Each structure stands twice: as structure tokens, then as C-alpha cells.
A = this chain, B = another copy of it.
Amino acid sequence: MAQSSTREEIIRKGANLIHAQGFNATGIQQILHAAGIPKGSFYFYFKSKEDFGITVIDYFNAATGEIFRRHLNDKTIPPLRRLDALFEYFEAAFAKTGNALGCPIGNLSLELADTNERLRAHLEAVIKELIAEIESCLREAKNDKSIPDLDTADTARFIFHAFEGAILHMKVAKDIEPYRAFRRYLAGYLKRKVVPHA
């Protein structure tokens, strides 16, 4: 293998192991073994396990961000349909892993937020980008009047928080139903007109 494809193979295999086991539980030797790379060559490609962590977060972000953008920027369908298509896509993706694993960004956030400041800051930045993608779609929905005049920043956070919480619940329940509930209550929230209640 060329150097670049060896590096990519380490990242891909490492990302899969980290998604399944967490960052701390995944050893460098285990990653090299999975990638079929000789022991000791890790530090040829990465300065430290922390540096590798940054690269793996970028890898997850590239994959997730691409899925978000592909759905949310699809101008051929209305904004709210795009949001639902995004969450439908993830439902199918979760089914492929038996509703285990969950969101790698959410998993790593809870695992690393209090113990590694550099990885924490990187994860926070990724979450900010994903929420911004949702907000951008909501602004389009607000402009075309398909949602009421709500605060798009807060609503984008609500959607992201509920998404992460629902994935957490799905993962611990080993059942897609909590995630389906998320899709239902989100649709109810966004497809209705909200007026002040006495």
C-alpha cells in the first residue's frame, strides 16, 4: 500500500473500532492489527493518539457533515421534507447496525469532554457546524412560511438535542422506537402553527 492509503486504512479501521468501543478502550495495537499494519508504524503516520483522535473526529465529521449537507441543501424538495429525509436516512443507517453504536460525535463528546481539552474543543466545533446546517434549512422553511415565525437558532438546537437524546435512548434500548418517536414529535412540532395559549 502507498503511504497515503495506509494512513487512510488506519483511520478507517480506527474509526470503526472507536465507534464500537470508545476512544480510551481502543488501543493503538488493536487498530494496527485490524488494519494489517506492522506494530510500531503508527507513529510514522500520527504524532500521538490524541492527534489520531482529532483525525478520527474529522473523519466522522466529514461523513456526517456530508450526509447533513446532501439532504439539507437539496433544493429540489421543500426544506421540511429535507429535514425529514435526513432523519429517515439515519433510521435506515441505524437499522444496519441493529440500532447499536449510535452517534460517534455524541459518544465521543460524553467520553472525552471532561478529560481531553483539545478533543473536547474539536467535538464542540463539529456540533456547532451540524447545528448551523440545521438552522440554515430552518431559515429557508421560515422564509417560505412552511414553519411559523420561531427562533431558528433555538429550534436548530432543539432538533439537534432531541436527535442526540433519541439516539442515546435507541442505543440503550436496542430498539428503533425512541428514534421513531423523535421523528414523530419533531414532525408535530414543525408542521403545525404555534399560537399563544391562554
Interface of A toward B, CB cutoff 8 Å: 20-22, 24-25, 100-102, 106-107, 109-111, 113-115, 120, 123-124, 127, 147-148, 150-151, 153-155, 157-158, 160-166, 168-169, 171-174, 178, 181-182, 184-185, 188-189, 191-198
Contacts and interface: CB of A to CB of B under 8 A. Distances in A.
Closest 6 pairs (CB-CB, A-B): A161-B165, A193-B197, A164-B165, A165-B165, A109-B172, A158-B185
Copy total for this chain: 2
Contacts of A123: 172
A50 to B, nearest CB: 16
B181 A158 contact: yes
B168 A164 contact: yes
A157 B8 CA distance: 39
Contact of A160 (B114, B165, B174): B165
16 contacts: A22-B24, A24-B25, A106-B110, A106-B168, A107-B110, A110-B111, A113-B171, A113-B172, A124-B172, A148-B197, A153-B181, A154-B185, A158-B162, A158-B182, A161-B166, A162-B165
